Each structure stands twice: as C-alpha cells, then as structure tokens.
Structure 1
Amino acid sequence: MSDFPENARTAAQAIRGLFPETPLQRNDHLSARYGAEIWLKREDLTPVRSYKLRGAFNAMRKVRAKDPGQGHFVCASAGNHAQGVAFACRHFGVRGTIFMPVTTPQQKIDKTRIFGGEAVKIQLTGDYFDQTLAAAQEFCRAEGAHFLAPFDDADVIEGQASVAVEIIDQLGRAPDLVVLPVGGGGLAAGVTGYLREVAPQVRFRFVEPLGGASLRTALEQGGPVKLPRLNSFVDGAAVARIGELPFRRLDWARPEEVHLAPEDRICITMLEMLNVEGIVLEPAGALSVDVLPELAEEIRGKTVVCVTSGGNFDFERLPEVKERAQRFAGLKKYFILRMPQRPGALREFLSMLGPEDDISRFEYLKKSARNFGSVLIGIETKHAENFAAFTGRMDAADFTYRDITHDEALAEFLI
C-alpha cells in the first residue's frame, strides 16, 4: 500500500479544524425508486457549498509546512475553487489574489469576497478563462507567490480524497458503488485513489456533462486532449481538458464506466431534488444523481454513494433551468409557423390547441408580410404525447410549421 491513504486520512483530520464532516445521508426517495440503499455525500454543505475547499486547504497547509515564509497564494477561477481558496486564505491568515474573468457574475465575486474578507484581493481580467489563467500565472511569477491549481496538483487531489475517508468512517463499511462527478478530475482521482487501496471491492461510475466529456475522451484517446467545443452550462464540471495528474490516477477506468449527462436532463434532476427533497444543487452537483436511471439495473439491492459536489446555484438561473427541463421532457416546444394573413386564421389556429396546451410565447417575426406571416410560438403542455395530437391537427389543416425546439442554432438565436 502506498502513502496515499495515510496522507488522505491526515488531510481529513486536519480539515476538522476548519469544518466538521459533511453529512452522509440515506435518501429514502431515491432508495425506494431504485430498490437500493442510496446515500448522498453532501459536499454541497461545506462552508463554501462545495468540496473545493478541501483541496485548497490541504494544498495551502502543506505548502506552508514546507515553506513557512510563503504568505501569498494565487488562483484563477470563476467559481467554487475561488471561494475555497478565499476561505482557506482567511483561515491561515495569508494573502490571496484571485483572478476572475471580467464576465464573472457579481454574485460569485461577492461570495468570494465575503469568504476571503480582507485577506483576499480580486482581480477581474480577461473575457475568457484562458486569458485570466495566463494573467494569474504571470502575476504569480512576478510576485513570488504560490499558484494553487484547481485540480492538477497532488496536494489538492490528496485533500479531495478526504471525502472518501469520511464516507468509509460514516457508513461504517465500504459501499458497493460510488458515483462521482468529473470536471478536471481532482475529486474523482482523490476518492478512487483512497478507496482502491483501502476497499478494493468498491466499484465506481463517473459522470460528465455531455458537452464536457474530457475524461471519456482522454480514456478513448489514451491521454488528455483538449475538447474542440465545450458547453459551459454545467460550469462546475465543464472542463475542456482533464488534468494531467488526475488522469494518471484515473487511466485504469474504462470509457463505458464514464456516463455522459445531457445538460437539459440535469435540469430535471435539479428541479426534482429541489421540489421533492428541498436540496439545492448546482448543475455539477446534480450529476451523480442524474445518472441513476442509467444504473438502475446494476444498483438494485446495492449500497450506492452519490457525491453531490456543490450547491452554489444562483436562483436567477431558475427560469432557464425550468425551461431546459421542460424541453428535455417534451413538455414544451417551439415552432415557427406560417400564419395566413387573413381574418380568422389566428382563431383557427387557436382551436387546434388541446385542453392541456398553453401558449407561452407568441411573436411575429415578419410583420410586413402580405399573404403569410412567420410566427415564433412556444407551447407548454402537461403530457408530452399531447404534441402528437396537436401537430396532427395542424397537418390536417395544412398549416406550415417547423419544430425548432432542438435546433441549437435557431433556438439560441430566437429563444
């Protein structure tokens, strides 16, 4: 056995000086649905509502042990890592300079400032993260500060492994399966690194957002590669290239063990956890729960731990989350309709709506057309099968229409 499990346990003990263990909670709702023992490791309940505090704290602790004179730490982040670094800086009484893109939402800036207090200075620079990262690293070299990477750092990985230490201690035994979200790979590398040595019988499943499959791609290609496109909706796990160090600790995994969660489906999970369980999860924090339907057959009768990695959700995004969820569930659709410019045409169209259908948007796109006008129309319904009947009635009446619900380019431009 390597030194990693002992180092992870030491990190977990040190973290107790910062905050208590996050809860490991059996979820009755999910357990009943899947016929399994489903436990949630609530990393959304750390002081910064994310596991990122663990890695930042452990890395800072170890750097200061080796170099007590180092009193300045730098990071580049627009999210949970920034808040973790800020909190750790205040705890250790050291200076922190946190670089964030100019486009960072004010809520995240304010929370980072609150966690860091007077210990932290925030620098807004760059429209894109790559520009922000370059500025942070250049500043770090010039100032002689220590750069704290969000996941590509051995001490950060070791700190994230404290999640696994707590799982075993709290459960009192090893679970059958652990489901882990993956972004840069630090959490997955730490948790699997610990459990594969102390409880080798544990199996793992990993979950990435569909638009950020950096681990799956790396496993298929034989090493980390930069994704050509990235969907940033799951901002806590949307990473274009998995970290080198995390990948070295995860290269044993098989591509089929990495599940890809559609961004809109994640929204359904977020709303269900909020409405049914009263649990607020950010998109990345919902990944491990979102994949459970795909695992239903193999987890029946098993003990499963899902790591809910974060709960930093801005409720101003709730309308977008609801919209995405409805579209994925087939309860909301958008059409471009060619509406005849004659008396009674609108009344005729409205008569095609069923008793459970409701117009949520109606907008003329070409107001000067003589014979036909193009209309963007959004319709909500209570049951997805209602749309087949609705479009059937439009076909019978010879209305010309186009469903643009899943046309990414048109939907982004028009909706």
Structure 2
Amino acid sequence: MTDFADKARAAAEAMRALFPATPLLRNAFLSERYGADIWLKREDLSPVRSYKIRGAFNAMTKRLAEDPERTLFVCASAGNHAQGVAFVCRHFGVRGSIFMPVTTPRQKIDKTRAFGGDAIDIHLVGDYFDDTLAAAQDYCKASGGAFLSPFDDPDVMEGQASVAVEMMEQLGYAPDRLILPVGGGGLSSGILSYLKAEGVGTRVKLVEPLGGASLAAALKAGHPVTLPTVDNFVDGAAVARIGAAPFEVLASTDPGDVLAAPENRICVTISEMLNVEGIVLEPAGALAIDALQDLGAALRGQTVVCVTSGGNFDFERLPEVKERAMRFQGLKKYFILRLPQRPGALKDFLGLLGPGDDIARFEYLKKSARNFGSVLIGIEAREAGDFDALFTRMEQRGFAYRDITDDEVLAQFLI
C-alpha cells in the first residue's frame, strides 16, 4: 500500500504542470453552525470545476507512458468526466472522442467543446447513458483507441487520491473527520487507499444520493449490484452500479459510515451555500456539506474536511432547485381541491388563506359539467406550520382536498 501512496504523491506533483492545488478553505459559517473546525476542499475550483480532471490526467499519463505513439482516447460522459478528458487531451495534444447522450444539455456540450477545442470530437448517441457507453466502447474497439473510464480504473482512482495528498499538505495534520461524496467510487476508493497507506486514522463518512445509493446496495449484497431505478437529479453521483475496482477497496466499509442524502434536502444546501456563502455547487458537489446535518453534535470540537467535488451548475436548473428545497422545508405544497361549482365557492376558499400564503399554481382539472370540479393548487407559505392551520380551516369549511406534494406518481404528471 505504501506504493499506492508514492504513486498518488507523484500524480499530485505531475498535475502541477496542469493546474495548482485546489484550495482548502476554512468555512466560518459552517464551523459556527456545528461548533467545529470545518474546512472545504474546493474541487469546484479546478480548471474544469470538478476533481474529474485528476483521474483523466493520471490515466492518460499512464497510457502515454506505455505507448508514446498512442493518439486517440475515448470516453462516455454527460458531464464532468467529459470536460476533464477534453481538457487533458488538449494539454497532451492527442485526439479525444467523447460520447454524450443526445439528451445532454447544450451548456455541458459547449463547455466540453470549449475545454477540448480542436483536440476533440463530440458524438451525441443514445437517449440513456447505457446506450452512450455501449457506443463509445464499440467505437473504441473499432478505432484502437484507449478507453478512459470515469471511475472504474485503478489509474483513475490513483489520480483522484491526489485530492487527499493536497489536503494533508495544506492542513498540515490529519483531520478528525473527512466527508466524501460517492458516485461510481473512484474518488472515495482512491482517497481511502491513500489514507490507509499513510496510516492516517481519520474517520471517513461516505455520502451518496438517496435515489442512487449504489454503494449501500453493494455492501448489503456483498458485491456490486445494479439499482433498478435511479433518481438522476444528482447527476454527478447518481450511478446505478458502483465500479468493480472501487468496490474492492470500499467492500470493507462499515455500512454505518455510508450516508444517504435526500435529493430535495440537497437543494436546500445548494441554495444556502449560494445565498449565504456565494459558493456555486452542483448537486454532487453539495453532498459532503449536506451530510454535516446527519452528524450534528458528533462534530463538535472536531476538525472536519468536506470535499466539494464539483461546481458545474447549470443556472437554468435554479428554479427546480428552489422548488425542491421549499418542498423539503415544508414551505410549498401542492394539493387537489374539490371545489363546488357554485357562485362564490372560489371566493370562499381564497378567504381561508392566511396573510403569508401565496398561490403559486392554480389550474382547473374539471373535465365534465358536474357539481364539483377539481383544482390543482400550489401554495407557498412563510412558515411550514402555516399549512396545518390552513388545512384545518379548509376542513372546518367542508373543502375536500388531497395533498399530493410527496406523491411521486401524481407529482410527476401534474406538477
């Protein structure tokens, strides 16, 4: 394992030709909240605004050392890995063929092209990532290129471990706790391998999105398994199956050290870090900070490092983030109201609203001329408790309703 630490340090040193070490910054806001000394390892401030550039650089360096005549690298990604590969291809002056789903937002495609310039080709293939990956691997075999996995590759894991190398040098000592996001497992397995090789006793918590808890599922089964469904909101970490190579390292993890962050709660963290601290984080980049609240009082008096893994946030998603955050906080609810079809019925209902209740959505769902009609209503409140009072008033006045805020099926079709 000492060999791994040496390789991780060598990778970190080699990266200085590409970019300076990302900052390790103490965050006074979070430190005061939790009564701890909380530091953020700002991978969102790398040249491609994520740590993915590290694994791509190290893996490409190794491939070129093995075969200096190699000129083509291939990857499949809809986000950060694509941008990292594009940047490194341009640095080394080699060709990159990057496969992305047809559904990839234009912003991500444009950023990938900006980082790679003339060094890369972008292929839009498939509606889903599995289709994109299959196309990339087929192309790689046919063209004789080198495939660069986003996480399931020992060289990528080694490159991601450079995050820990920098952290230890910058802090000057081992933190009491380290909180890491988990997607495919490349970052977490690389860092854990480095800490073990160095004999560091830091307690590590791993955090994955609730709707993509592939590590927890693998630990329960004893081997990597494919999740039947995945919530893709945390797109940088919502992986259906943990990588095989990373799981060899992560298999000994105590399941109690793996936390699951609800997607809507992550939205609260994103909004808070943006509004209070001016820090722009993508959903995956907010995972480690979001998990602090799960640890709470256990953090008091400790030195804690959170890895903010990425800041590639598309601001077109901001309305969705605000919406989901308010729903998690209980400040916004949707319900279907059974409204009598008589003059004054709507006025009667509006008279029940409190001074802080704001109608954000109002849509008649009536399909026939019956005595009652259905109305879809979205209301924002100043305090979560305001809804209890509103619903009590509605029930007292005989208004029938159904709260569908947390009904995933109805919400998907109606909201």
Fold match by TM threshold 0.5:
yes
Post-superposition Cα deviations, 1:201-245, rounded to whole Å, max 9, x if no partner, equal 111000000000011111111010000111000000000000000
1:2 matched to 2:6: no
| 2:254 aligned residue | 254
Q: Deviation of residue 285 (structure 1)?
A: 0.2
Kindly provide the amino acid, as one letter, of the partner of residue 381 in structure 1: A
Q: Distance in 1 between matches of 2:253 and 2:222?
A: 11
1:293 partner SS: helix
Q: In the alignment, which residue of structure 2 is the partner of 1:343?
A: 343
Displacement after TM superposition at 1:367 (Å):
5.0
Pairwise CA distance, 1:199:
3.9
RMSD (CA atoms): 0.7
Q: Corresponding residue for 1:169?
A: 169
2:54 aligns with: 54
Q: Residues 224-303 of structure 1: matches in 2 within 5 Å?
A: 224-303=224-303
Which deviations, in whole Å up to 9, do the C-alpha atoms of 1:91-134 show, x marking residues without a partner? 00000000011111111100000000000000011111111111
Indicate yes or no: 2:362 matched with 1:362: yes
**1:357 & 1:369 partners in 2: Cα distance?**
30
> Which structure 2 residues correspond to residues 15-414 of structure 1 after superposition, within 5 A?
15-366=15-366, 368-414=368-414
What's the offset of the Cα at 1:28? 0.1
Please, what TM-score do these two structures have when normalized by structure 1? 0.99
- SS of the residue 2:151 aligns to: coil
Matched positions, count: 415
Identity %: 69
In structure 1, what is the Cα distance between the partners aligned to 2:369 and 2:76?
A: 51
What is the rounded CA distance, in whole Å, between the counterparts of 1:199 and 1:40 in structure 2?
22
SS of equivalent to 2:2: coil
* SS class of match (2:275): helix
* Counterpart amino acid of residue 79 in structure 1: G
Q: Give distance in 2, aligned partners of 1:312 and 1:318.
A: 12
State the distance in 2 between where 1:74 and 1:41 align.
29
> Which moves more between the two structures, 284-293 or 195-204?
195-204
The amino acid of 2:263's aligned partner reads E
Shift of 1:200: 2.6
Contact 1:26–1:40 (8 Å) recurs in 2: yes
Aligned counterparts of 2:45 and 2:192: Cα–Cα separation in 1: 21
CA distance in 2, matches of 1:80, 1:295: 28
- Extract unaligned runs of 5+ from structure 1: none
Counterparts of 1:238 and 1:35 in 2: how far apart (Å)? 31
TM-superposed CA distance for 1:195, in Å, is 1.1
User: Could you tell me whether the CA contact under 8 Å between 1:178 and 1:305 is conserved in 2?
Assistant: yes
For the Cα contact (< 8 Å) 2:102–2:127, is it kept in 1? yes
Which secondary structure state, in structure 2, belongs to the residue aligned with residue 131 of structure 1?
Answer: helix
Q: Is the 8 A contact 2:54 2:159 kept in 1?
A: yes
Query: What is the TM-score with the length of structure 2 in the denominator?
Result: 0.99
Q: Which has the higher mean CA deviation after the structures are superposed, 287-296 or 189-198?
A: 189-198
- Distance across 2 between alignment mates of 1:138 and 1:340: 61
